[in-house]
């Protein structure tokens, strides 16, 4: 599974008004592990940044004047994202700018080149409703140091978001038990059946030490999310169970 954490910095907030991308950063995850195979560009946006945007990213027109234009990096960028899932904080913003840059070059939208687009801001709002869910707030919530972040930068923000995403989705990996080992059973294969009523199943209760250790783990999870972890939440009973 190949995923790319992506972030952009822009000259302003509105691509329809002529604002452009001036920095682009991607951090690669393969099977939820950072590979170090990252992509990063400073880009000449061919216009000045709005004062508010300049205060956020600090990338001046003079600094960007000798950097490649988006048309010069598009092929490398498309090759890099091909087929990969994109993970973006507030994805509509970055995708809107990327689609605008692609359209200027007569190219179809970004979604035609990549896999799934995952919005970590939307995920965070579901996990922490009513709370601040900016990248800085999530770093603080998950204990990820961002002390070195004085200005926004596409690559730095992508690296921080990668850590946040892994923390947010920890424990969601699928645990697959293959009852047939490495052999692949065909559709006509008759698997041996076991008479379950003939088995005497031994139930081993947790010891006091094991229960205490389990409780300690749950307490650590509660502290990490600054609330109640999903492992303490009871499933809502089905309708037929509620009436019995």
The reported pLDDT for the residue numbered 202 is 64
CA distance 138 to 163: 10
The reported pLDDT for the residue numbered 185 is 45
The reported pLDDT for the residue numbered 175 is 35
> Which residue is associated with the tokens 């209760």?
205
Catalytic residues: 152
The reported pLDDT for the residue numbered 50 is 95
The reported pLDDT for the residue numbered 226 is 73
Give per-residue pLDDT as tens, 201-227: 666 788 888 888 888 888 877 777 777
- Give the chain's residues under pLDDT 70: 148-151, 171-203, 229-244
One DSSP character per residue, the chain reads: -EEEEEEEEESSS-GGGT--EEEEEEEEEETTEE-S--EEEE---SSPPPHHHHHHH---HHHHTTSPPHHHHHHHHHHHHTTPEEEETTHHHHHHHHHHHHHHTT---GGGTSS-EEEHHHHHHHHSTTS--SHHHHHHHTT---TT-SS--HHHHHHHHHHHHHHHTTT-S-----TTTTPPPPTT--PPP--GGG--PPP-PPPHHHHHHHHHHHHHHHHHHTS--GGGSPPPPPHHHHT-
The reported pLDDT for the residue numbered 184 is 46
**Distance set, CA 220 to CA 19, 214, 225, 241 (Å):** 44, 10, 9, 32
The reported pLDDT for the residue numbered 179 is 34
Domains assigned to the chain: 2-168 (3.30.420.10), 201-242 (no CATH)
The reported pLDDT for the residue numbered 201 is 61
Give per-residue pLDDT as tens, 32-66: 999 999 999 999 999 999 999 999 999 999 999 99
Strand 85-88 to 2-10 pairing:
parallel
Predicted TM-score of the model (pTM) = 0.69
The reported pLDDT for the residue numbered 178 is 35
């Amino acid at each position: 599974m190949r995923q790319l954490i992506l972030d952009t910095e822009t000259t302003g907030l509105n691509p329809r008004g002529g604002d452009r991308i001036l920095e682009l950063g991607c951090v690669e995850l393969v099977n939820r592990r950072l590979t170090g195979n990252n992509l990063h560009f400073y880009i000449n946006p061919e216009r000045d940044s709005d004062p508010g945007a300049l205060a956020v990213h600090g990338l001046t027109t003079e600094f960007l004047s000798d950097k490649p234009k988006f048309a010069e990096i598009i092929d490398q960028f498309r090759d890099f994202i091909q087929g990969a899932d994109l993970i973006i904080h507030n994805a509509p913003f970055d995708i809107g700018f990327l689609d605008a840059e692609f359209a200027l070059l007569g190219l179809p939208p970004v979604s035609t080149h990549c896999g799934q687009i995952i919005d970590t801001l939307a995920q965070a709002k579901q996990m922490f409703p009513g709370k601040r869910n900016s990248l800085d707030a999530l770093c603080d919530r998950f204990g990820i140091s961002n002390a070195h972040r004085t200005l926004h930068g596409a690559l730095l923000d992508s690296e921080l978001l990668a850590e946040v995403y892994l923390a947010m989705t920890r424990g969601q990996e699928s645990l697959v038990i293959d009852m047939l080992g490495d052999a692949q059973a065909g559709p006509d294969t008759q698997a041996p059946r076991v008479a379950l009523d003939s088995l005497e199943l031994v139930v081993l209760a947790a010891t006091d030490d094991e229960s205490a250790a389990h409780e300690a783990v749950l307490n650590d999870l509660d502290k990490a999310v600054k609330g109640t972890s999903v492992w303490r939440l009871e499933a809502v009973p089905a309708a037929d169970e509620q009436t019995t």
